[in-house]
Chain A
Amino acid sequence: MWNTFKYTTLSIVRERSIVIWVMLFPLILATLFNAMFKGIDENAHDLDPIPVAIVNKSEGGADKAFNTMVDALSEGDEAILAPMDAKTDEEARALLRDNKAIGVVTLDVDGWPSLELSAVTGTTGVSMGQVERTVLADVMDDFCRTREALEDIMRNDPQAAENPEVVLSLVRRDDYTSELKITHSQTREYVRYFYALLGFAAVMAANVSLTAVGAIQPNVSVLGARRAIGGTGRSRMLAGAIAASWLVSFLALVVAFAYIRFALGVEFGGREAACVLGIAVAALMATALGALVGALPYVPYTAKSGILTGITCLLSLFAGLYGTPALRLADQVAREAPWATVVNPVKQVSNLFYSLYVYTDLTPFFRTIGVLTIITAVLALAAALMMRRQSYASL
């Protein structure tokens, strides 16, 4: 068995198609994904200062508090507002109409602001500035409530208004709001593509055992025929080939994972050790899948390879590998036909990493490990039954 394990490993890692499709292709795809998706996601989280037109109609310095607030929010690297002075309402609305401003703030004679926001859908029909609108409305609402509360205190309890602690308590939020972490990490949509990619890479790795098992079967190659008449039993030879396939698949996936994690900086929730455990199980599933396809009787090797590629591409579609529409489709399938997700190994491998990334609790991860183990067992059993029954009436 050791002899078969050693030389099967050597022959697989030197096989050009395996090197390209199992080892290099995931790295190339990951690099492309990094260029395509990561930038989009990061940009989506960068909030530029919100352009707002201000029409000041206040009198007698009633705008002092408002101006102080605007100055504070429009200074420095983390400025929230980009104020633009407008002399008239028409000028301000023109800025709004031309999408140069998200909102118009009009100060009345007493310095109270009123807010007018741009339409949700821009002239191109594309939804724009939703986050900015919310932020702007929140800022104005906060200003009005705080000013109202202060004026109320000054009216009813002037002494309290002179107490700095009372004033501070009005602007501090941590007394009655607290930040709750409902996910293990800060969620970023783009990571799902990389997890789906690892699922895809895992199923692509099934080509390793397909090749290794094919090289044992007498009806697939002359090499298989020669090995079949050797002095080593089929089961021992198969065990060596399967072990070698698992090792190569595992290493290829670890390399892909390490590249995605450390070279591309994709987050895995800081649980790299658990990821390696997940990869070990994923490689086992891939090995069983390749062995099953490799054991299909009466099918030429090239057809088996085509079948495996087809399976990989189809399953990857339902794991959301091919961009946003595929991701939506995958989510829809998960909602409406959960069983289809359960039996999809690409999706399950993808879920392994997603559960580590999103959930604080490790239960979803181990549940997915369990599902993958069952899938592996079913595939391996079917492959073993097929190979056990095979005898050859012709070669």
Chain B
Amino acid sequence: MAIVEVRNLVKRYGEVLALDHFNLKIEEGEIFGLLGPNGSGKTTSINCLLQLLTYDKGDILLFGEPMRPNSYDIKRRIGVVPQDVAVFDELSVRENIDYFCGLYVSDGTRRRALVDEAIEFVGLKDYVKFRPHKLSGGLKRRLNIACGIAHKPELIFFDEPTVAVDPQSRNSILEGIQRLNAEGATVVYTSHYMEEVEQICSRIMIMDRGESLACGTKDDLVCMVSTGEKVEIEAPDLPGGTLEALGAQPFVRRISHDGTSIHLLCDNGPHNLANILAVLQERAVVFGRVYSEPPTLNDVFLEITGKELRD
């Protein structure tokens, strides 16, 4: 069953078209990644989904039901971890989690158990009495997550939860998301960090300028672009005509030399690397290490949009 279904969603901020007939379908049990640069419409689409923002046109269905601003039965099945740390500065870690859990669960005994579980889950047991300003950036992010997941939602939106987080905390957050998914939660994860999306998402949508540009598994996305292989060869000194000879190969789409290495983008083909090395040996080019890798999501994004993901 589609947990999230969005049809032809249009959202304007004045003259700016933030979402342009945006469509989305997320199945139960997925970790679905919304990947796009800042301002691409990821957060706007989530805010519209949650009825936090009005929109101009379109249909939104969550759990198969039309989503309305007062659909509290649906909202109680959803957890949200916003991009900014949104907690009470004046309440302790435990009080904050208890408050947000209380927005969904009124039974005090059950809530106490859920809060304990959430504290354990995010590893804030030693900080339960701390106020947020006493926590490090990473610990604040963990608190932000605990407040969004304590009530054990079936669908969780994570809106760039790792922004400004150290690598250790980032890994901890990503592992936590995978654990939540393993426990049955469907996850919608927005980010402009392609490595994270590649690491945890089962399906990915690439967004830019309020549009869905491509959607599928990582392999699906890579297959959508013509770049099949990236090759990098350490070769500081190149005899004249080498780059031209390499560029003349029919499978080479783009070639460049940065003074120390040759960078080649190639079409899909079984013998690309062997052919490249043969050209270098013919010309007696001295080379060091050789790297070959399939295209990344950034390459996919670059080819689809013509710009880097982090532009």
The interface of chain A, by Cβ under 8 A from chain B, is: 3-4, 7, 10-12, 14-15, 215, 218, 221-223, 225-233, 391-395
Is B51 an interface residue when CB atoms closer than 8 A count as contact?
yes
Q: Mark B142-179, 1 if CB is under 8 A from A, else 0.
A: 00000100010000000000000000000000000000
Instruction: Flag the segment in B78-86, B250-258, B300-308 that touches A.
Output: B78-86
Is B103 an interface residue when CB atoms closer than 8 A count as contact?
yes
7 of the cross-chain contacts (CB-CB < 8 Å) are: A10-B91, A223-B87, A223-B88, A229-B78, A231-B75, A231-B104, A233-B72
With both beta carbons as reference points, the residue of chain B lying nearest to A10 in the complex is identified as: B91
Within 8 A of A (CB), among B78-116: 78, 80, 82, 84-88, 90-91, 95, 98-100, 102-104, 106
* Chain B residues closer than 8 Å to A225, beta-carbon distance: 47, 52, 82, 86
With both beta carbons as reference points, the residue of chain A lying nearest to B147 in the complex is identified as: A226
* Chain B residues closer than 8 Å to A218, beta-carbon distance: 52
* Chain A residues closer than 8 Å to B82, beta-carbon distance: 222, 225-226
Nearest 6 CB-CB pairings of A with B: A3-B102, A230-B103, A231-B76, A14-B90, A226-B86, A231-B104
Within 8 A of A (CB), among B35-54: 47, 50-54
* Chain A residues closer than 8 Å to B99, beta-carbon distance: 3-4, 7
Q: How far is the CB of A235 from chain B (nearest CB, A)?
A: 10
With both beta carbons as reference points, the residue of chain A lying nearest to B16 in the complex is identified as: A394
Is B291 an interface residue when CB atoms closer than 8 A count as contact?
no
Chain B at the A interface: SS class:
loop
* Chain B residues closer than 8 Å to A15, beta-carbon distance: 90
Please report the C-alpha to C-alpha distance between residue A160 and residue B123 in the assembled complex, in whole angstroms: 106
Q: Find out whether the CB atom of A10 lies under 8 angstroms from the CB atom of B95.
A: yes
* Chain A residues closer than 8 Å to B53, beta-carbon distance: 392-395
Q: Find out whether the CB atom of A7 lies under 8 angstroms from the CB atom of B80.
A: no
Please report the C-alpha to C-alpha distance between residue A218 and residue B54 in the assembled complex, in whole angstroms: 12
* Chain A residues closer than 8 Å to B106, beta-carbon distance: 3
Chain A at the B interface: SS class:
loop
Is B70 an interface residue when CB atoms closer than 8 A count as contact?
yes
Q: How far is the CB of A13 from chain B (nearest CB, A)?
A: 8
Q: How far is the CB of A242 from chain B (nearest CB, A)?
A: 17
Contact of B103 among A10, A14, A232, A393 (CB under 8 A): A232
With both beta carbons as reference points, the residue of chain B lying nearest to A13 in the complex is identified as: B90
Contact of A229 among B75, B91, B98 (CB under 8 A): B75
Please report the C-alpha to C-alpha distance between residue A393 and residue B10 in the assembled complex, in whole angstroms: 12
Given contacts A12-B90, A231-B103, could you give 14 more A-B pairs where the C-beta distance is less than 8 Å?
A3-B103, A11-B90, A11-B91, A226-B80, A227-B103, A229-B51, A230-B100, A230-B103, A232-B72, A232-B104, A233-B72, A391-B54, A395-B47, A395-B53
* Chain B residues closer than 8 Å to A392, beta-carbon distance: 52-54
* Chain A residues closer than 8 Å to B78, beta-carbon distance: 229, 231
> Which of A4, A215, A218, A229 has the most chain B CB within a 10 Å cutoff?
A229
Please report the C-alpha to C-alpha distance between residue A221 and residue B78 in the assembled complex, in whole angstroms: 21
> Which of A7, A231, A233, A393 has the most chain B CB within a 10 Å cutoff?
A231
Is B69 an interface residue when CB atoms closer than 8 A count as contact?
yes
Contacts A229-B50, A393-B13, A395-B52; A7 near B87 (Cβ below 8 A): no
Please report the C-alpha to C-alpha distance between residue A363 and residue B151 in the assembled complex, in whole angstroms: 54
* Chain B residues closer than 8 Å to A228, beta-carbon distance: 52
* Chain A residues closer than 8 Å to B87, beta-carbon distance: 223
* Chain B residues closer than 8 Å to A12, beta-carbon distance: 90
* Chain A residues closer than 8 Å to B86, beta-carbon distance: 221-223, 225-226
Q: How far is the CB of B150 from chain A (nearest CB, A)?
A: 12
> Which of B13, B76, B86, B103 has the most chain A CB within a 10 Å cutoff?
B103
With both beta carbons as reference points, the residue of chain B lying nearest to A235 in the complex is identified as: B70
Q: How far is the CB of B76 from chain A (nearest CB, A)?
A: 4
> Which of B53, B78, B85 has the most chain A CB within a 10 Å cutoff?
B53
Q: How far is the CB of B243 from chain A (nearest CB, A)?
A: 50
With both beta carbons as reference points, the residue of chain A lying nearest to B84 in the complex is identified as: A222
* Chain B residues closer than 8 Å to A223, beta-carbon distance: 86-88
Please report the C-alpha to C-alpha distance between residue A229 and residue B67 in the assembled complex, in whole angstroms: 12
Q: How far is the CB of B210 from chain A (nearest CB, A)?
A: 14
